[in-house]
Structure 1
Amino acid sequence: MTADDGRALPGHLRSIQPTSQFAGDDGSADPELAALLEGYAAGATPLRDVVARLAATRVLVPVLAEVEATGTVEHEGAELHVDKEASAGVVALQAPDGRRALPVFTSVDAMRAWRADARPVPVEAPRAALSAVSEDWALLVVDPAGPVTALVPRPAVWALAQGQQWRPALEPTADGLTVEAEVAAAVADAAAPVQHVVRAHAEPGRTAEVAVVLALDPGLDRAGLDRVLAQVNARLGASKVVSERVDSLELRIAAAR
């Protein structure tokens, strides 16, 4: 594989410039990462393990001579749209919630299955994550055209970019997913001091990663409810644990007993 064809990326994307360490790269996928992705697709490997391997792996960032605004990629029933706004041909995909994602590839073959005209730029996955963060792109998409596609959430991208281990907000138990203890405590600590909040707890969300379930004083009118929710949102946003570890939140109201 040719690491670079001589065309340099602009200054704000030089963090993904290839280096001499990839001179002998043949463009094949890292075997351990490929095996983990297969396990992830089968439901046997958690995304956490995939991200941990990414931290020590080379990925390929696609550069296109011309960026078109057309095309979609499907992942777990949702479509990721090609975003016309790109830096020197480095394409951003747009998730259904509007957030942008940087596509990265495990191999040249996986990239060619997506776009045959893409030029592969090899880079360590943490540097790709850092570039995405610098562009304010929240997500990474590994191998958008397969053979296995994995969407790396915002907290994991930030952890990769900072060289830190990603600790997911949700963890598996014998009874299914549950909110990890530190995250659950941070949610309760953030919401509990707000006036009219009787109780607050965290559980896996329905439309977001984590749901914050609030039991409120009865009799609140709409204006009062809006004030409570705004205060809870503000306190959650100011929580370091919540902001660093939770990809998305939803608020739900439960009956106070």
Structure 2
Amino acid sequence: MQNAKVKRFIKEGRGQGTGRDYVPWVKTSDYSSKGRATRIQGIKTQRIHHLHSDNQLRAFLIFEYSDAIIDIRESYPLLDVMEVIDDKEGLRLDKFTDADGYPLVICTTFLLTVRGEGGEERLVARSVKNTSELAKKITLEKLEIERRYWQARGVDWKIITEKQLPRQFCENIEWCRETLLEEMQEGELAQAMLAYIQSEPFTPIKMLLNQFEYEQQLEPGKALWLFRYLLATKCLEVNIENAINLAATLEELK
């Protein structure tokens, strides 16, 4: 039993496809969201991702940074929830209906495709919630529906809160990843900078950037851009979880 809106969303391809072709069930333009809604260009998927809170953005950045995660599907709808869940005892599915009695579509925040070391692929589902939301009975009832759904499908499912989303780590990723959105034509220059920095592990990064920029006769800011690119591509090893202080040396950043 589906209302007109759900039928329209399905016809639009929402909740369908993978990779570049996936269309999220809920877009940022559909509803007002609590927190800051974000549309962000995906590097791995090459499509726009629709995120509805700061926590969702931080989770997305961490997922995209991971080498193991190869596809990220946000706002994934559980359209076949009634068919998949056999054990419905205690579930308050009646609470999740619209004014006309039609069932609401429950979504899991992220459905991820993870590639193992042996090349095998598996699905992982993650629901992103603020800890304050977990005090609400309606939220817990929705999460229990999600838990049973993914359990029935044999998919690993967990809840992620802001406690698992370190802000500094996410800010660093966001600062670096911007360089991957631009067309890179200075591969040899980036490698030259990498060797330059690695050869001077006890010299402050800022000093090295200025020297490299001067020696290579680059426009102001280009060396910093290359430094961010090396971090984004993980060619330059630093502790990405800590604040990146340009006054520090490479050895101090590790």
Q: TM-score range by the shorter chain?
A: under 0.3
Which protein shows a greater Rg? 2
Name the one with the larger strand percent. Answer: 1
Name the one with the larger helix percent. Answer: 2
TM-score, length of structure 2 as denominator length:
0.25
TM-score, length of structure 1 as denominator length:
0.25
